[in-house]
Structure 1
Amino acid sequence: MNEQLLNDDDVTLYGLFVEAFARIKPLVHRDLGMPDAWFEVLLRLGRTPGHQLRMTDLAEAVSFSSGGFTRLADRMAKEGLIRRDPDPDDRRAALAVLTGKGAEALDRALANHVSQLRRHVTATLSTEDRRHLERILTTLRDTNE
């Protein structure tokens, strides 16, 4: 085994990132009242002007294959959280639209989510640490599209 690579700082840094996320995710997703994937979809729609996105764009944003996302969207539509509307700009495409029931479910989930985020993430960071973490995560996201 290559001891130098086993103990490489980059390997350690990535490992810490993965371990921290694995520990934090179940804590901040506690008490959402819905599956994590549903919360992510509702959050993306809630934060988008007009509360609607093309189905393909939403599937990509939540890292789902189009087929997997279609099944997810079907279940969410059946629950009345989203609806599908035709895309007026592309007859072949559909828009996922946040419904009133979906917005109410998102509000309930966000109240718990924000509380858990503050408890398990931001309470442990200084204002400067938060700014650095945001810059680092934004850089990693934007340079690896």
Structure 2
Amino acid sequence: MNEELLNDDDVTLYGLFVEAYTRLKPLVHGDLGMPETWFEVLLRLGRTPEHRLRMTDLAEAVSFSSGGFTRLADRMAKEGLIRRDPDPVDRRAALAVLTDKGAEALDHAMTKHVTQLRTHVSGPLSLVDRRHLERALRILRDASSSAGPLEEGAR
């Protein structure tokens, strides 16, 4: 085995990132009152102007294939959390739109989510550490995106 590669700083950095994410994920998503994927969809819509996104853009933002996202959107629409509207710009496309019921569900989940984030993510960090982490994560996200940066409001 190549000891130099096994102990490479880049391997260690990535390993720490994965370990931190793996430990944090259940802590900040465990008590949302809905599946994590639903929460991500509602959050994206809630943070987007007019609370609507093209279905294909939303599927990409939550890392779903278009077919997988269609099934997810079907379940969420059946629960009344989102609805599909025709895209006024492209008649071949549809928009996912946050409903009032979806906004209420998001508000409820966000109360718990923000509490957990403040306890487990931002709480242990100084303000300077938080800004450095945010900057680094944006750089990594944007550098690895084939479509480029997401719209600022979609975060």
Task: Report the TM-score range of the alignment, normalised by the length of the smaller protein.
Answer: over 0.9
Extract unaligned runs of 5+ from structure 1: none
Q: Determine which structure has the larger strand proportion and give its number.
A: 1
After superposition, the C-alpha distances for 1:18-68 in whole angstroms (9 at most, x for unaligned) are 000000010001210000000000000000000000000000000000000
**Runs in 1 of length 4+ with deviation above 2 angstroms?**
none
> Normalised by the size of structure 2, how large is the TM-score?
0.93
Q: What's 2:73 paired with?
A: 73
Q: What's 1:35 paired with?
A: 35
After superposition, the C-alpha distances for 1:91-118 in whole angstroms (9 at most, x for unaligned) are 1100000000000000000000000000
CA distance in 2: counterparts of 1:68 and 1:132, whole angstroms = 34
* Secondary structure of residue in 1 paired with 2:105: helix
CA distance in 2: counterparts of 1:54 and 1:131, whole angstroms = 31
| Structure 2 counterpart of 1:23, one-letter code | R
CA RMSD of aligned residues (A): 0.5
* Secondary structure of residue in 1 paired with 2:91: strand
Extract unaligned runs of 5+ from structure 2: 146-155
The answer on 1:126 being equivalent to 2:105 is: no
Instruction: State the 1:142 CA deviation.
Output: 1.3
Q: What's 1:23 paired with?
A: 23
Q: What's 1:47 paired with?
A: 47
Q: What's 1:84 paired with?
A: 84
CA distance in 2: counterparts of 1:108 and 1:31, whole angstroms = 10
| Structure 1 counterpart of 2:11, one-letter code | V
* Secondary structure of residue in 1 paired with 2:116: helix
CA distance in 2: counterparts of 1:42 and 1:18, whole angstroms = 25
Q: How many residues align?
A: 145
CA distance in 2: counterparts of 1:57 and 1:108, whole angstroms = 25
Conserved? CA contact 1:30–1:116, under 8 Å:
no
The answer on 1:95 being equivalent to 2:81 is: no
* Secondary structure of residue in 2 paired with 1:53: strand
Instruction: State the 1:83 CA deviation.
Output: 0.2
> Structure 1 vs Structure 2: percent identity of aligned residues?
81
| Structure 2 counterpart of 1:34, one-letter code | M
| Structure 1 counterpart of 2:70, one-letter code | T
